[in-house]
Amino acid sequence: MSLGNSDVRPLNINVGILGHVDSGKTSLSKCLSKVKSTAAFDKHPQSQERGITIDLGFSSLKVNLPEHLRLSSNDFRELQFTFVDCPGHSSLLKTVIGGTQIIDIVLLVIDITKGIQTQTAECLIIAEVTCKKMIFVLNKVDLIPEAKRTSTIEKMKKRIRGKLLTKKTPFGRSPIIVTSALTSDSEHSPFGVTELIDALITFTVLPKHSPDKPFVFAVDHCFGIHGQGTILTGTIIQGSVHVNDTIEFPSLNLQKKIKSMQIFRCNTDYAEQGDRLGICVKQLDPKQIERTLVCSSNYLSYISAGIIDINKIKYFKSDIKTGTKFHITIGYENVIAKIILFCSNDNNDFDINKEYLYIEKFYEENCEIDMKIGKQFAVLEFDRPIITIPDSLVIGSKFDIDASNNVCRLAFFGNLIYSFSEKNYSHSQLSVLKVYKIKEKHGAVDRIINEYEVIGKNIFKKDSNIERFYGFKVNLSSGELGVIDKSFGKSGKIVIRIPNGLSDSTIVNMNKISKKKSKHVSNNESDNNNEIVESIKFSMTFKKYSFNKDKKIVQ
């Protein structure tokens, strides 16, 4: 961050440059950009050593505000594109996911000599989840022999437009631009870059921002400048900020006043959601700050678990099961979490006061099951507390899957709709969540006491707390409805009251059963004693609440 002259704040649009490793993303970013940030074009030492992008890089380009945006707003004179150069290597997918959550438009860069590759497809899925606005860039066209160039370009465009990709995504009408970042056209500009910039300008719409919300700033780099202070660079996720505002570092439990601010080397007194910003504060050790969130005072805190409205990514082939652990990305945060699934019987939004059904796995649309599945939700139990924003986008992945197997590692997404902040949330907070399992117990009628009472067995163990089930209804296989009245002895047997009495046929059947059991049956009795007499069974169905600390059960 260097000192510069004050300037009118431009309308900023964040453009993510995504694609498979070695597709030419960083070279293209250099061609598009006029101003680079302190973290741009593979400045990371490991990037230079390995020859690949391993972290997010930021650079920018300013153009005149186009007519269609000038008609929408009088607040800006210039349009600024902030380019977010994302890694392409499969092992760095979590960094890509974090980067895409701050962008407005995706440039999906495809090496035209190699076509659609594994990370190309994963980047397409990420874009569909995060921003839904994309421009396809067919790069390295200079490597195609001139005689085959036109046919190769048309073949690749047809493939992109075809069933493989865009008919299954929102990108069916997205522009496709052909470029060569290392080859100049007749005006000595990189081939196709002018056309790409024109497409970006045409494609840009005025973003919906909320400057009145509390300020949240996603820090991606931090460093010190001697004599000035500590510089935080990042993107404003929501709200707005002024010089001299006090901001909070929730991870450090610390507050600092803003000394100065810059947007790509231009001083500014004000910035708002979407802006790429450098913030200078005093007396802060940059080594204490990693990729984190900074915010208005007392706005954000750590959470230990959360609830999302879960949606399965259609390309993920495995089942999403309760009890499974996934890699969770929320903004720049990456954490392991165990999931617990539940659902409603309608499509309404989550309500903490409603009851929900526990489910063992995520059910896809049109699946044939006995129960009614409405909107599905998941509790995420994080391995460690994290700091995040309410309603944040959450993406669940399986990074332990081998990317070389050409399978989708992205499993689900949703928004954070409820949070649990306490460390011992499972005991202190989770019990407010009314998620129940349907339980069913089975037993057999042992004998008749009278026409209104029978003794049941084989449903409880001798040390069971049977009193919890007093008054619960049971269904006899003979058709009568019964109610658990009390315990009978200490072996787990119960007295079942039959409010409407046993039918004559049931009484006759029970008498036959008793006669069969009698030790005094004569061996010379009639053949009628050889008839098959089935014992009478009974069943009991009830709800058991999964998170209730008292293990509440109801019918």
Of the chain, the percentage scoring pLDDT greater than 70 comes to 88
The verdict on 128 and 186 lying in the same domain is yes
What is the distance between the alpha carbons of residues 228 and 280, in angstroms, rounded to a whole number?
8
- Is 60 exceeded by the pLDDT of residue 540? yes
- Is 80 exceeded by the pLDDT of residue 8? no
Residue type, 44: H
> Angle, nearest 10°, between helix axes 193-203 and 25-32?
80
Domain boundary among 412, 432, 452: 432
The verdict on 38 and 151 lying in the same domain is yes
pTM of the model: 0.85
- Is 60 exceeded by the pLDDT of residue 528? no
Domain boundary among 174, 203, 232: 203
Domain boundary among 182, 203, 224: 203
Residue 146 CB-density burial (10 A; 0-12 exposed, 13-18 middle, 19+ buried): exposed
How do residues 134-157 score in pLDDT, each as one tens digit?
999 999 999 999 999 999 999 999
The neighbour count for residue 301, using CB atoms within 10 Å, is: 14
- Tell me the residue range of the domain where 226 lies: 216-295
With CA atoms as reference, report the closest residue to 136 among 95, 94, 166: 166
Residue 546 lies inside a defined structural domain of this protein: yes
Beta bridge partners of 64: 78
pLDDT at 184: 58
pLDDT at 350: 96
**pLDDT class for 397, splitting at 50, 70, 90?**
very high
The neighbour count for residue 48, using CB atoms within 10 Å, is: 12
CA gyration radius, the chain: 33
User: Exposed e or buried b for every residue in 375-400, given b needs 16+ CB within 10 A?
Assistant: bbbbbbbbeeebbbbeebbbbbbbbe
Residue 6 lies inside a defined structural domain of this protein: no
Whichever domain contains 242, its CATH number is 2.40.30.10
The verdict on 164 and 67 lying in the same domain is yes
Phi, psi of 418 (to 5 degrees): -160, 140
The verdict on 65 and 122 lying in the same domain is yes
Identify which has the larger pLDDT, 339 or 9: 339
pLDDT at 45: 45
Q: 3-class SS at 191?
A: strand
**pLDDT class for 282, splitting at 50, 70, 90?**
very high
Enter the tokens of residue 362. 């995520």
- Strand bridging mode 434-450 / 355-359: parallel
**pLDDT class for 185, splitting at 50, 70, 90?**
low
pLDDT at 163: 62
Q: 3-class SS at 474?
A: strand
How do residues 266-278 score in pLDDT, each as one tens digit?
899 999 999 999 9
Beta bridge partners of 484: 496
pLDDT at 39: 54
HSE toward the beta carbon, residue 543, CA cutoff 13 A: 13
The verdict on 22 and 161 lying in the same domain is yes
- Is 60 exceeded by the pLDDT of residue 55? yes
> Counting every residue, how long is the chain?
555
Beta bridge partners of 380: 306, 339
Enter the tokens of residue 206. 């005025």
The verdict on 291 and 338 lying in the same domain is no
Whichever domain contains 199, its CATH number is 3.40.50.300
How do residues 507-519 score in pLDDT, each as one tens digit?
998 888 777 766 5
The verdict on 153 and 243 lying in the same domain is no
Residue 163: left (phi > 0), alpha (psi -120 to 50), or beta? alpha
The whole-number average pLDDT for the span 29-54 is 60
The verdict on 401 and 547 lying in the same domain is no
pLDDT at 38: 58
What is the distance between the alpha carbons of residues 112 and 10, in angstroms, rounded to a whole number?
34
Task: Report the range of poorest mean pLDDT among 164-168, 194-198, 495-499.
Answer: 164-168
pLDDT at 72: 79
Strands (E), 432-504: 434-450, 453-457, 473-476, 481-488, 493-497
Task: Report the range of poorest mean pLDDT among 331-335, 339-343, 367-371, 526-530.
Answer: 526-530
The verdict on 191 and 286 lying in the same domain is no
The verdict on 359 and 496 lying in the same domain is no
Counted domains in the chain: 4
- Whether the Cβ atoms of residue 14 and residue 102 lie closer than 8 Å to each other: yes
Residue 445: left (phi > 0), alpha (psi -120 to 50), or beta? beta
The verdict on 326 and 412 lying in the same domain is yes
The verdict on 94 and 15 lying in the same domain is yes
**pLDDT class for 50, splitting at 50, 70, 90?**
very low
pLDDT at 464: 92
